[in-house]
Amino acid sequence: MGVQCNAESGERVVKAAIEAFGRVDIVVNNAGILRDAAFHKMTDQQFLDVLNVHLHSTFKVSKAAWPYMLKQRYGRIVNTTSTSGIYGNFGQANYAAAKCGIIGFSRALALEGRKYNIKVNTVAPYAGTGLSRGALPDELFQGFKPQYLCPLVGLLCSENLIPEPSTGGLYEAGAGWVAETRWQRSGGVAFPANQSLTPEMVVQHWPSVTNFDDGRADHPREPADGTAKVMANLQETKNENPSKSDDSYLDKIAAEQNRTAPGTEFSWNEKDVVLYSKHHLPKKFALD
């Protein structure tokens, strides 16, 4: 069974699956095109065409299948990214943007689908396809057969998935090699959060900011992992300088709200009234 349609016609694709099988358990988003160009020559249309086919179609098909997966409390989604989206590639600003967007999209869906037994993962393949034919030597092209990727995709789509964490993963695979890719973050530098920070202060500590080999680097996976060090620095600053990091600004706001204006006193005599009426009131109201 197949459906011939635009890659962004997610509703049509999923409708055909429901009509044929009564449910949808697996979605593999793999549509793609290339519109390579050096960035200074890249047109808006070249950029949007690639984003639409890669990123928007991934959204549309997943969006159409999502209600069915929520209702049945089961689903497997595998989205195809690229090493260009992970590492960048010359002449592929459009392609890299779309493929990197797919990684972020997949991680967000993995968080939302976790409690409904909907697993979402991303694969960056080294594969010889119609897109890369002619760009690779034939020997290398043959070594990158898509068949080398099928076992990984099949595993990520299976009912009995790999041990935890089994969702939100990013995997590179090709030519019989399979690996998981993860973010790594240096230990960084914690500057006092209640003092002004300048570029000069940051550059002074730049070697520590960029040091991954001092034993303090970590690999954040969850949103809470990403903010943990920032929140810890805020708390440490507050503990070390409670008088400088408390909520005294609230007292200042309250004091300003309760402030009363001293007012301005005015006085006038009969002459002032006559002059005002002559110059400012309509003639029929003016005093003689």
Tokens representing residue 30 in the block: 């793999």
pLDDT at residue 284 in the model:
55
11 pLDDT above the threshold of 50: yes
- Tens digit of each residue's pLDDT (9 = 90 or more) over 153-189: 999 999 887 788 899 999 999 988 999 999 999 999 9
Residue 161 CA to residue 112 CA, distance in Å, equals 18
280 pLDDT above the threshold of 70: no
Matching residue, tokens 């960029």: 210
CA-to-CA dists, residue 258 to 82, 248, 253, angstroms = 59, 16, 9
Q: Tell which wins on pLDDT, 39 or 274.
A: 39
Residue 147 CA to residue 262 CA, distance in Å, equals 83
283 pLDDT above the threshold of 60: no
Contact 119, 111 (CB under 8 A): no
**Confidence class for position 193, pLDDT limits 50, 70, 90:** confident
* All domains in the chain, ordered by first residue: 10-180 (3.40.50.720), 199-258 (no CATH)
Contact 209, 221 (CB under 8 A): no
**Confidence class for position 133, pLDDT limits 50, 70, 90:** low
pLDDT at residue 253 in the model:
67
Please identify every residue annotated as catalytic.
95
Return all residues near 240 (Cβ < 8 A) that are at least 6 apart. none
41 pLDDT above the threshold of 60: yes
Residue 11 CA to residue 193 CA, distance in Å, equals 49
- Tens digit of each residue's pLDDT (9 = 90 or more) over 194-251: 889 999 999 999 999 999 999 999 999 999 998 898 888 888 877 776 555 445 555 6
277 pLDDT above the threshold of 90: no
Highest mean pLDDT of the ranges 173-182, 251-260, 277-286? 173-182
3-state per-residue secondary structure call for 128-183: CCCCCECCECHHHHHHCCHHHCHHHHHHHCCCCCCCCCCCCCEEEEECCEEEECCC
Q: Is the pTM of this model over 0.85?
A: no
% the chain with pLDDT above 70 = 86
Helix axes 10-21, 57-72, angle to 10 degrees: 40
Characterize the bridge pairing of strands 26-29 and 177-180: unpaired
pLDDT at residue 127 in the model:
79
pLDDT at residue 286 in the model:
47
- Tens digit of each residue's pLDDT (9 = 90 or more) over 50-98: 999 999 999 999 999 999 999 999 999 999 999 999 999 999 999 999 9
Residue 173 CA to residue 197 CA, distance in Å, equals 43
